[in-house]
């Protein structure tokens, strides 16, 4: 059941901010930095189409 992020295509990912524990759903293909809506911590950065995740991945939503 466990999937590596590198195998993901276009999906939504539920993340938990490691700083404030806020849960946030993001798209795994982003074109700009995604920040935590609560504490402004960077949660994901775009790297050639795929997001580099800087938070805890809770769930991948198909």
Binding site for Zn ion (CB under 5 A): 17, 19-20, 22, 36, 38-39, 41
In angstroms, give the least distance from the CB of 40 to Zn ion.
Answer: 7
In angstroms, give the least distance from the CB of 7 to Zn ion.
Answer: 27
Residues 6+ apart with CB under 8 A from 51: 13, 26, 27, 28, 29, 30, 34, 44, 45
Q: Give the H or E element holding residue 58.
A: strand 56-61
Quick one: 41 or 45, whose CB is closer to Zn ion?
A: 41
Quick one: 38 or 61, whose CB is closer to Zn ion?
A: 38
């Amino acid at each position: 059941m466990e999937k590596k992020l590198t195998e993901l295509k276009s999906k939504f990912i539920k993340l938990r901010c490691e700083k404030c524990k806020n849960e946030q759903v993001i798209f795994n293909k982003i074109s700009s930095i995604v920040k935590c809506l609560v504490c402004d911590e960077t949660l994901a950065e775009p790297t050639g189409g795929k997001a580099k995740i800087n938070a805890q991945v809770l769930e991948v939503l198909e």
